[in-house]
Each structure stands twice: as C-alpha cells, then as structure tokens.
Chain A
C-alpha cells in the first residue's frame, strides 16, 4: 500500500513528460506548417520567425526523445532557413532512425549548401552545375526550389552577354526546363514566377502574364518575390492590352479587373501594397 503514492506519482510524471515531449513535437510541426502558410501569403518575416520557433521546439524534442519524426521536422526548418549543412545532419539522423527518404534529402541538402558556397565565392560555373543536377534529379522541394530559382537567375544573367541567336536558344532551353518542373509540380507558385520572368525576356507577354497570374494565385515564397511578380503582371498586362484589337482588349481588361477585385487591388493595375 505504501507503494501506491509512489506509483501514482511515477505515472503522473511519465504522463507529464510524455505530454511535454509530445507538445514540443506538436508545436514544432505546428510552427513549421504556420511558416509555410505565412510564406505562401508573402509574409516572409513572420515565416522566418515561425521556422525559427519550429527549429527550437524540434531541437528540444530531438534532445529529449530522439525520433525520425523530430529530426525530420528539424531538418525541414533548417532547410527553409537556408541552413543546409545542419539540415543534412538532421536528415541523416532521421534516416538512421528509420526515415527512408532521409538519406536522399540529406544528400540534396548537402548539394544545395555546396552550390550556395560556390556562389558566395563567385564560382558561378560549378554552382550552376550543382543547381542543374538538383533541378534535374531532386525530389526534396526546398532544395529543388532554391536550385530552380538560382539556376534561372544565373542563366538569365549569363545570357545578357550572348549574341541574340545564342541568347534566344539559351532562353528557350530554360523555358523547357521550367516546363518540366511545372509538369512535376504544377501547384508550385515559384516555378510559375520563374516561367513568367523568362517569358518576359523572350517577349512572350501573354504567357508571362498568365504565368504571373498563376504564381499569384498559388502563392510565392517571399513578399519581395510576390511584389516583383505583381509588377511583372502589371507590366505585361498594360503592354499586352495596348497591343490587342478592341474585342480582345476588352476581354483581357474584364478578366484582369476580376482578378484585381479578388486580390483586393485598388484598380486593375495597382496592387494594394503600392503607395507610390
């Protein structure tokens, strides 16, 4: 009978510790998901804050009760914060604890970190090769997204110095790569944004406009990219409208007016965030 209170206390303690551990993991997942939502809503700073909170909670969980799930959430938060080396280590740990995809995600995180380091050292050629490999083969979305964005940006920068024919061929090849990415994940707003950028360089204003509209609808990873996408959308819309015969022009204006109302813009060419 004397043991009864001790047993009860032990049970209560075990329950409390379990709940506490569960709470860390649960909070880490919740914060990570909120970060994703914030990022899609162009709230970059809030997204970064959420991922940092998620990282803290997942870190605590990993120390108290290591599990594949805890290390996976930690790795995801690290990847979203661009901490590729740490993400690699977390995914490897998750793999060792039974998360099958952890090994591939660790490898892709390592490659993303390597490419970013190359770029920081102004070694664009090797960075481009690594990004190309990730774009072709990675299924790990954070690495795939950064690789697609960086590769597109680097190729656009390089193409500026080429003669017109070669530049045209380079941009067409870039569009094909982005088409393949969209085939794999049509719901990724960033890929549509990148497509809109390259279409703009090719002078394909209609496609650029359509891709920018889809990017806006699907969400983009940062407020700044969102604003740049809005500017691209308005730029294409105005020029396209001016070039169309009256009937088509009216149809485009009507469509853009509906989108603008849905997005809460002040008029068909003024996003809500614009003050100038």
Chain B
C-alpha cells in the first residue's frame, strides 16, 4: 500500500465531486469517507446507503431524556465537561437540554455521517458552533445529497473512488488517517472552498 497513491485517488475524487457538488465542499468529506468505508467492506448498494443515512437524523427519544441522563452525558465526557463546566456547575438544564440533541447524536451515538459533517468543529472542541449550526447544516446536507443523487455521474464518481481506494489498500490505514487525508485534500492541494460553509 502506498499512502501517496491513496491520497492521489482521493484527490481525484474531490476534484470530480467539485463538479457535481459546486460550493458544497463541506459535503465531500462524509460522502467520500462513506464511499471508501463501504468499498472496503465490499458493499454493493452505495446508493441505498448514502440515501439511507437520513434515517439517522431524527432520534425519537433524544428530546425526552431525563435531566439526570443529560447531566451525566455532559459530565461523563471530558471535552464536553470542560466546555459546559459553567452550565453543569449551575445546573442550567435549559442550556444543556437545548444542546443535547445535537451533541448526543454526534458524541453519544457517534453517528458516523454527522461526525464527518462536523469534523472541523469536533476536532476544535467547538461544541457550541455545532449546536448553533446543527439543524441548518444537516438540512442543507440532506438537500444537497438529494439533488446530487439524481445525477448518475455522482454515483459513478463515488463508486470509482471507493473501489480505487479499496484496491490500493485503504483498509490498512486507521479511520482517523483516512479522515485527516480527506480533510487535508479538501482544505489544501486541490484548491477548493473551505470545508466549512461560509455562514457557519
């Protein structure tokens, strides 16, 4: 496996997706990453999977969790505990409950697609931006993917990139390495827009 070959394959994917998802570079990450992961697992139904991720967005019981569970969630994660130390100390359930649906889906349930969509903020421990942006960005992601899904070229690109990355041995890299590689490509060499939408 040559890491550079994989990087080159992913770069080609980013460049091709750029034509299909104009001005939505923050969407490349989850879509490309998903294509690579599923290709490695030899999954044949890319379309179903990319479209099915929408079922993850509406957690039924998240909005009704008891206060104790919510407090425990914020106290049990070191990064969240640091960010929300004041609210936890004050027992400010109003703020914590408002932040919970977004952060529990990402940090508590570890939804892979959502984690990819908010990778930059998660890496920077910028949880408050995630909370503010959550509804709008996930809605835009749904809409953008739905629109792109109508174009057969979108699926061809994803399938090609995934297969190529799989054949080059992407499965030998750690998840984090693949994620960092894609983020670096989106931010860097291919000269695309920033990975975060301007209004975030």
**Contact residues of A with B, CB < 8 Å?**
44-45, 48-49, 52, 149-150, 153, 156-157, 160, 197, 200-201, 203, 222, 224-225, 227-228, 231-232, 235, 239, 273-276
A200 to B73: give the CA distance in the assembly, Å. 14
Which residues of chain B are near A203, meaning CB under 8 Å?
68
- Whole-angstrom distance from the CB of B114 to the nearest CB of chain A? 11
Contact B64 A156 (CB under 8 A): yes
Contact B61 A227 (CB under 8 A): no
**B77 located at the interface, meaning its Cβ lies under 8 Å from any Cβ of chain A in the complex:** yes
A150 to B61: give the CA distance in the assembly, Å. 9
Whether A224 touches B111, Cβ cut-off 8 Å, given contacts A200-B69, A235-B69, A235-B72, is yes
Which residues of chain B are near A201, meaning CB under 8 Å?
64, 66
**B55 located at the interface, meaning its Cβ lies under 8 Å from any Cβ of chain A in the complex:** yes
**B110 located at the interface, meaning its Cβ lies under 8 Å from any Cβ of chain A in the complex:** yes
**B59 located at the interface, meaning its Cβ lies under 8 Å from any Cβ of chain A in the complex:** yes
Which of these, B72, B77, B107, B109, contacts A224 with CB under 8 Å?
Answer: B109
Q: A200-B69, A224-B56 are in contact. List 7 more A-B contacts (CB 8 A).
A: A45-B55, A201-B66, A203-B68, A227-B109, A228-B108, A231-B73, A276-B107
The 9 closest A-B pairs by CB, nearest first: A156-B64, A49-B48, A45-B52, A49-B45, A227-B109, A48-B52, A153-B60, A45-B49, A157-B64
Which residues of B, 74-112, contact A by the 8 Å Cβ criterion? 77, 107-111
Which residues of chain B are near A228, meaning CB under 8 Å?
59, 61-62, 108-109
Which residues of chain A are near B69, meaning CB under 8 Å?
200, 232, 235
A228 to B48: give the CA distance in the assembly, Å. 23
Whether A231 touches B108, Cβ cut-off 8 Å, given contacts A153-B64, A156-B64, A276-B77, is yes
A86 to B19: give the CA distance in the assembly, Å. 37
For B97, give the chain A residue with the smallest CB separation: A160
Contact B110 A276 (CB under 8 A): yes
Which residues of chain B are near A273, meaning CB under 8 Å?
110
Contact A45 B53 (CB under 8 A): yes
Which residues of chain B are near A239, meaning CB under 8 Å?
72
Contact B108 A48 (CB under 8 A): no
**B128 located at the interface, meaning its Cβ lies under 8 Å from any Cβ of chain A in the complex:** no
- Whole-angstrom distance from the CB of B107 to the nearest CB of chain A? 6
Contact B110 A160 (CB under 8 A): no
A157 to B65: give the CA distance in the assembly, Å. 9
Contact A150 B55 (CB under 8 A): no
Q: How large is the interface on B (under 10, 10 to 19, 20 to 34, 35 or more residues)?
A: 20 to 34
A275 to B110: give the CA distance in the assembly, Å. 8
The total of Cβ contacts below 8 Å across the A-B interface reads 62
**B146 located at the interface, meaning its Cβ lies under 8 Å from any Cβ of chain A in the complex:** no
**B142 located at the interface, meaning its Cβ lies under 8 Å from any Cβ of chain A in the complex:** no
Which residues of chain A are near B109, meaning CB under 8 Å?
224, 227-228, 231
Q: Most chain-A Cβ atoms within 10 A of its Cβ — which of B107, B109, B175? A: B109
Contact B60 A150 (CB under 8 A): yes
Q: What are 15 A-B interface contacts by the 8 Å CB criterion? A: A44-B52, A45-B52, A48-B48, A49-B52, A200-B66, A200-B69, A203-B68, A224-B59, A224-B109, A225-B60, A227-B110, A228-B59, A228-B109, A235-B72, A274-B110
Which residues of chain B are near A48, meaning CB under 8 Å?
48, 52, 55
For A160, give the chain B residue with the smallest CB separation: B64
Which residues of chain B are near A224, meaning CB under 8 Å?
56, 59, 109, 111
Which of these, A44, A160, A197, A276, contacts B61 with CB under 8 Å?
Answer: A197
**B42 located at the interface, meaning its Cβ lies under 8 Å from any Cβ of chain A in the complex:** no
Contact B60 A45 (CB under 8 A): no
**B63 located at the interface, meaning its Cβ lies under 8 Å from any Cβ of chain A in the complex:** yes
Contact A49 B49 (CB under 8 A): yes
Whether A157 touches B63, Cβ cut-off 8 Å, given contacts A224-B109, A227-B109, A276-B77, is yes
Which residues of chain A are near B111, meaning CB under 8 Å?
224
For B43, give the chain A residue with the smallest CB separation: A46
Q: Most chain-A Cβ atoms within 10 A of its Cβ — which of B59, B107, B175? A: B59
A275 to B62: give the CA distance in the assembly, Å. 20
Which residues of chain A are near B52, meaning CB under 8 Å?
44-45, 48-49
For B60, give the chain A residue with the smallest CB separation: A153
Q: Most chain-B Cβ atoms within 10 A of its Cβ — which of A150, A227, A274, A276? A: A276
Which of these, B48, B66, B110, contacts A45 with CB under 8 Å?
Answer: B48
